[in-house]
Amino acid sequence: MRTTDVRIGGRSLDEDAPTYVIAEIGVNHDGRLDRALELVDAAADAGADAVKFQWFEAALLVGDPEAVADYQRRAKITNQHEMLRTLELDREDLARLVDASHRRGLHAVVTVFSEALVPIAADLAWDAWKTASPDLVHRPLLDRLAADGRPMLVSTGASELSEVTRADDWLGTASAAFLHCVSAYPTPESSAALGAIGSIAAATGRPTGYSDHTGEVTTGGLAVAAGAVLLEKHLTWNRNAEGPDHAASLDPAGFAEYVDFVRRARGAIGDGTKRSNPIEADVRRVARQSLRATRSLPSGTRLAAADIAVKRPGDGIEPWRLREILGRELQVPLEPDAPIRDGDLR
């Protein structure tokens, strides 16, 4: 049976749980371990639940080095192999980052880009796997990660819903969640397509979130309103730095604002149940109308329509029960405008 209760380090990705926020460090460390460690601290200080890294080797990942996306060209990148080679972190670096994340109370998540790296990555204490949007069609990688048993977060940028549901079938009983994503860096707010979060959740039955590539601090809160139970947002040390992802990221101050807005949005949305809120009790009591005597009514009066008015406050029988009490006998006298209560009737 498919698992819908996906947990990362004991934290449930349930719709009733607090929104799970991942700070995507990715390659914004610029290939420097010291900078990656600083970003781990920034993520913790901002209130994130997890940090995410990328594990790749350019030689394993790139076949045609001149195949460069437009957003990478805008970042002055002309050779994908050379760019990725300068951004690699080795096993020892990543092991230190896992330890640093756990010391700061953060879960450590990693995107693995090549199947050959999975056995090496599996030796470290990652709390969850992530797969990049382009690898939604990479079934060998998905299968390999699913077989490990740790929870998976599967990104869906630049895909059709039919491709998402196909991957969902491949994942079977694996503990997995999907992330709606728009693979544009940065994504204009008008192209965020947040309604797709609900479409993916309905089609797969799995927890669904949003991988946010906008440059806005408010999109995460909007995604929560659209049903996201987890969020991923890029964190950088400088949005103007050279590199492929800095422009689609938030700096530490912006990321802290992002997390704060997400928490406020989640609190404002509540648990999705419509009920009378305790802060409404006074207005409910005073502004609702109830059944009241139109005149002095002696004990023994059989109530007729002319004996009953509907007025504020709501401390008597509710108006929807008017027909129910017609013809009932009073067992106490009532003054004009006195509320009619159940205990007043025989």
Q: Look up the CATH number of the domain holding residue 307.
A: 3.90.1210.10
State yes or no: pLDDT of 2 exceeds 70: no
Q: Are residues 184 and 126 in the same domain?
A: yes
Instruction: Find the domain containing 331 and state its range.
Output: 278-344
Q: What is the model's pLDDT at position 284?
A: 95
Residue 156 has pLDDT above 80, yes or no: yes
Residues 216 and 331 reside in one and the same domain: no
Q: What confidence category does residue 72 fall into, taking pLDDT thresholds of 50, 70 and 90? A: confident
Same domain, 182 and 312: no
Alpha helices in 205-338 (DSSP H): 219-225, 252-269, 281-287, 322-325
Cα–Cα distance for residue pair 166/164, rounded to 1 Å: 5
Distance of CA 294 to CAs 122, 183, 290, 321, 324, Å?
79, 68, 12, 17, 18
**What average pLDDT does this structure show over 304-315?**
98
For residue 4, name the pLDDT band (cuts at 50, 70, 90).
confident
Q: What is the biggest distance separating any 2 CA atoms in the chain, rounded to whole angstroms? A: 96
In a domain, 298, yes or no: yes
Q: What percent of the chain is predicted at pLDDT more than 70?
A: 99
What is residue 342's predicted lDDT score, i.e. its pLDDT?
Answer: 97
Please report whether residue 151 resides in a domain: yes
- What distances in angstroms separate CA 47 from CA 22, 161, 253, one per listed residue? 10, 32, 11
Measured in Å, how far apart are the chain's first and last C-alpha atoms? 57
In a domain, residue 7? The reply is no
- Provide the sign of the torsion angle of the four alpha carbons 195, 200, 203, 207, taken in this order: negative
Burial of 166-199, coded b for 16+ CB within 10 Å and e otherwise, reads ebbeebeebbbbbbbbbbbbbbeeeebebebbee
> How many domains in the chain?
2
Q: Both 217 and 282 in a single domain? A: no
Domain-embedded: residue 181: yes
Q: Checking phi first, is residue 168 left (phi over 0); if not, alpha (psi -120 to 50) or beta?
A: alpha
Does position 227 have pLDDT exceeding 80, yes or no?
Answer: yes
Whether residue 148 is contained in a domain is answered as yes
Highest mean pLDDT among 12-21, 59-68, 296-305: 296-305
Residue 109's CATH number: 3.20.20.70
Indicate whether 188 and 316 sit together in one domain.
Answer: no
Q: Per DSSP, what are the bridge partners of residue 80?
A: none
- In angstroms, rounded to a whole number, what is the distance separating the alpha carbons of residues 342 and 161? 57
**DSSP single-letter state for residue 308:** E
Rounded CA separation 265/210 (Å)? 15
Residue 5 within any structural domain of the chain: no
* Alpha carbons 46 and 220: distance in angstroms, whole number: 14
Concatenating the DSSP letter of every residue in 130-178 gives: EE-GGGGG-HHHHHHHHHH-S-EEEE-TT--HHHHHHHHHHHTTS-EEE
Q: Rounded to the nearest 10 degrees, how much is the dihedral formed by the CA atoms of 156, 162, 166, 169?
A: 100
User: Taking all residues of the chain, what is their mean pLDDT, rounded to a whole number?
Assistant: 95
Mark which of 241, 269, 297 sits at the end of a domain.
269
Same domain flag for 252 and 330: no
CA distances from 20 to 17, 23, 237 (A): 8, 10, 22
Q: Do residues 137 and 154 lie in contact, with contact meaning Cβ atoms separated by under 8 Å?
A: no
pTM: predicted TM-score of the whole model, two decimal places: 0.89
Check whether residue 144 and residue 235 sit in a common domain.
Answer: yes
The verdict on residue 4 lying in a domain is no
Indicate whether 126 and 151 sit together in one domain. yes
The yes-or-no verdict on residue 13 having pLDDT over 90 is yes
> Are 290 and 252 found together in one domain?
no
